[in-house]
Amino acid sequence: MKKALVLFADGSEELEAVTVINILRRGGIDVTVAGLTSGPLRGSRGTVLVPDTTLDSALAQEYDLIVLPGGLPGADHLRDDARVAGLLRKMRDAGRYVSAICAAPSVLAQAGLLDGKRATCYPGALDDFPAVQLQTAAVVEDGNLITSRGPGTAMDFSLTLLERLAGKATRDKVETGLVR
């Protein structure tokens, strides 16, 4: 079974996180939600989520995909955490999927993963990173890097992630069940 890790910090965009978690689980992916700190965390819109584990505990496992939801100040907390940057580089170097949505592609850029790569984000989130080949599509893939624009593209982003991990037939089955 494929495994995905969704990171969540205080101030992360809960719509993006929950959409990814829900769609991947519908498709049979083993999803772990890891908080940067222990206990319940408040999202950018005030929704409280209780992660499955902490990032420290999650680091002991291997994953096929890592997902960074956006939202502020959540993306800033992810960007400022050295454990996150190290994990992102490790995932990239192992040829695994690394993904981010909304403001979180800036976390990938700060960690050096987007230099010379195509990516998308919430408008303005990558303005400080001129080495990124900025695109405006809802979802942009460059090798095993997958980025998306924001809460409005969370469903497309999630279904793309599911397709990469479980194939088009699984994506189509889940998408049909959503009555989209």
Consecutive H or E run containing 105: helix 105-110
> Does residue 151 have a cis peptide bond before it, meaning omega lies within 30 degrees of 0?
no
The answer to whether 121 is a known catalytic residue is no
Beta-carbon contacts of residue 110 (< 8 Å; ≥ 6 apart): 79, 85, 129
Catalytic pick among 9, 21, 102, 165? 102
d(CA 78, CA 81): 5
- Beta bridge partners, 98, equal 66, 145
d(CA 61, CA 17): 20
Q: Phi-psi region for residue 47, left (φ > 0), alpha (ψ -120 to 50) or beta? A: beta
Catalytic residue positions, numbered: 102
